[in-house]
Amino acid sequence: MKALAWGIAFLSLAGAAQAAFPERPVKLIVPWAAGGDTDNIFRPFGQAFQKHLGQTVVIANIGGASGTVGAREAKAAPADGYTLFAVHDFIHLTYYTGVADTSYSDFRPVCSVASTPSVLTASPKTKWQSIPELIADAKARPGAVTVGATLGSTSHFFPAIVEKAAGIKLKYVSYDGLAQRMNAILGGHIDLTDGNLTQKGKVDAGQLRFLAIATEKRNAEIPNVPTFRELGLDVVYSVTRGLLAPKNTPDAVLATLEGACIKALAEESFARSMKAQGTEVLPLDRKGYGAFLDRVDGENKALAQEVGLLRR
């Protein structure tokens, strides 16, 4: 009888300990430098997330090697819910291009957060005002037009898709993340890069030029920028971001994280901050996000093969 009582007490204590999560701050690894798109999305998300999680969320920028340095640290972290990983489609692309050994399957999904359509962005020092002018110049000078990209990541794949669709040859210049690429294009060191609506202010100021957006329809924020499809190029592309946890994180902990995430994504202040960045809130729970990751993993493998970048 005494043993049974001790057993019941132990189970009660274990349940209470589990229910207490989180008891300390949670680290959110952003695998890119501060000031880039991923960082600029997850910082306002972190503010809303910690409000509903009941603990401080600390952003840790761990850049390097196309996001794979942060991915390795997140993968190696204890599976207790206190280290999370801010991810986007690079997790599929760097794996299939052979840049990294880390795969999305090394983690468990928590929730998706946002989706940002890509815009092909040019330096105003270039002579083109349109995609047809770019294509004509690139065909006249194969391999001379430079594009800044994080190799093996979304900023590499997006122009590679444009390149294939247009039948042109570009010269890729490697940078580790958007912040570095923006500095390069603003300085006139490269001709093109993968941009988005966060650069609208710089476009309005004449520092950058939007050539085309990779959406089904024109965006109301930049109504004068055509879609690739209306220009005869079948290019639709966006970068989707979400939250992952180390693979063996317990279900109960994931459920707490998932609940706080979904509530954070419903915050009007977060929606406003995303709209200002040309980004759509994408509130998928862990089951929905898991299904999404499975689907796009296959799509990205096929895409890597299609543009000649598949290495595994």
pLDDT per residue as tens digits for the range 112-134: 999 999 999 999 999 999 999 99
Q: For 217-237, how does the pLDDT look when each residue is reduced to its tens digit (9 = 90+)? A: 999 999 999 999 999 999 999
Residue 4 above 70 pLDDT? no
Residues 222, 117 contacting (CB under 8 angstroms): no
Partners of 122 in the β-ladder: 192, 209
Q: Is residue 11's pLDDT more than 70? A: no
pLDDT tens for each residue of 253-263: 999 999 999 99
d(CA 213, CA 225): 7
> For all residues of the chain together, what is the average pLDDT?
92
For position 97, what pLDDT does the model report? 92
For residues 93 and 273, give the distance between their C-alpha atoms in angstroms, rounded to a whole number. 27
Count of C-beta atoms within a 10 Å radius of residue 275: 13
Domains and CATH numbers, the chain: 25-116+240-306 (3.40.190.150), 119-231 (3.40.190.10)
What share of the chain has pLDDT > 70, as a percent?
A: 94
Which pLDDT tens digit goes with each residue over 60-103?
Answer: 999 888 889 999 999 999 999 999 999 999 999 999 999 889 99
**Do the bridges between strand 119-122 and strand 57-61 make them parallel or antiparallel, or are there none, so unpaired?**
unpaired
Strand 107-117 versus strand 83-87 pairing type: unpaired
Nearest-angstrom CA–CA distance, 39 and 31:
9
In terms of DSSP bridges, do strands 238-246 and 171-174 run parallel, antiparallel, or are they unpaired? unpaired
Where are any strands of DSSP class E within 187-235? 192-195, 209-213
pLDDT interval class at 5 (50, 70, 90)? very low
Provide CB contacts within 8 A for 77, sequence distance 6+. 27, 29, 83, 246
Phi/psi region, residue 28 (left: phi>0; alpha: psi -120 to 50; beta: rest), is beta
pLDDT of residue 171: 97
Query: For position 10, what pLDDT does the model report?
Result: 46
> According to the model, what pLDDT value does residue 13 have?
45
Helix (H, G, I), strand (E, B) or coil at 199: helix
- For the ranges 4-13, 28-37, 174-183, 262-271, the maximum mean pLDDT occurs at 262-271
**Mean of the pLDDT values across residues 176-182?**
87
Apex CA 206: angle with CA 205 and CA 212, to 5°? 110
CA distance between the termini of the chain: 59
DSSP 9-59: HHHHHHHHHHHT---S-EEEEESS-TTSHHHHHHHHHHHHHHHHHTS-EEE
How distant, in Å, are the alpha carbons of 36, 115, 230 from that of 196? 11, 11, 18
Q: What is the pLDDT of residue 19?
A: 55
Distance CA 281, CA 99 (A): 29
> What sign does the dihedral 91-96-101-104 (CA atoms) show?
positive
* Per-residue confidence band for 16, with pLDDT thresholds at 50, 70 and 90: very low
Which tokens hold the place of 10?
């132990």
Q: How far apart are CA 255 and CA 233, in angstroms?
A: 42
pLDDT in tens, 283-296: 999 999 999 999 99
Q: Are 235 and 214 in contact (CB under 8 A)?
A: yes
Average pLDDT over residues 205-209: 97
